[in-house]
Amino acid sequence: MSDTPLEKRYYSISEVAEMFQVSKSLVRFWENEFDTLRPHKNSKGDRRFTPQNLEQFQLIYQLVKERGFTLDGAKQEIKRQHTFAKEKAAMLQSLENLRGFLLEARENL
């Protein structure tokens, strides 16, 4: 995928396949394999990929095509990254709380 900013609200499956230079059948296959990849579908059933969907697809592409993960390995890595992000957010919140406590304690001295 190019480094140009995403400008559209929705992308068709053809556009996604072209961006990543993969077949449309691979896009559909990965959609079925990865719970995190869920494009919207219009009333005709056409897939409409959001920029967030493209970020998810790019992560899957990097893991499977560029880094050589198996599909199960990629699923585990995505889950691990999600867990890590949640733990990191919780840790940052704890640090912010501690900072607030320390600032308040300093003011009370």
Question: Is 34 part of any domain?
Answer: yes
Question: Is 79 part of any domain?
Answer: yes
pLDDT of residue 23: 97
Helix%, strand%, coil% for the chain, nearest 5:
65, 5, 30
In the predicted model, residues of the chain with pLDDT beneath 70 are 1-6
pLDDT of residue 6: 61
Question: Is 7 part of any domain?
Answer: no
Question: Is 8 part of any domain?
Answer: no
Q: What is the CATH number of the domain that holds 68?
A: 1.10.1660.10
Q: Give the side-chain half-sphere CA count within 13 A for 39.
A: 25
Structural domain tally of the chain? 1
pLDDT of residue 15: 95
pLDDT of residue 3: 46
pTM score > 0.95 for this model?
A: no
pLDDT of residue 1: 56
